[in-house]
Amino acid sequence: MHAPKKSHYEKALHVVNYVKNHPELGLLMSSTSAEDIVAYCDSDWASCPMSWKSVTGFCIKLGASHISWKAKKKSTISRSSVEAKYRSMEHTVAELIWLKGLLKELQVNVKMPMELYCPGFAIAVIAEMGGSSHL
């Protein structure tokens, strides 16, 4: 969020308190046996006006259930929006590899290949070519 206000903070705090006070709710997992993993990732470029750092995030689903997600301000500064998206894809792929190993240990069958969606045509070209000299 570019310019959060106190009201945004209060609403976020309300959600956190609700989750904290209702641990019995937990996460719901679909009862259908799903074998496909689909991941979505994205980033914004230089969203923090003070540090010019990007925020990246991903969401990974096993069938209809979300099993992993994360959003984080990066520790480095990306030189372009394409580089920021590429770094987001890198972190998502690392999480997918880790999840693949975990699910294998838990004897959960996973359909291969896993799908990864990230908006932007340029990033798809760079990923298919295996990188760029500027990344």
Tens-digit pLDDT profile for residues 4-30: 788 888 888 898 888 888 888 777 777
Separation in Å, CA 53 to CA 12, 49, 71, 77: 22, 8, 13, 5
How do residues 117-127 score in pLDDT, each as one tens digit?
988 766 666 66
User: Residues 6 or more apart from 31 whose CB is under 8 A from it?
Assistant: none
Query: Which tokens go with 135?
Result: 């990344």
- What pTM does this model have? 0.70
Q: Compute, in degrees rounded to 10, the torsion defined by CA atoms 123, 134, 90, 38.
A: 10
Tell me which amino acid residue 2 is. H
Looking at residue 61, the DSSP 8-state letter turns out to be: E
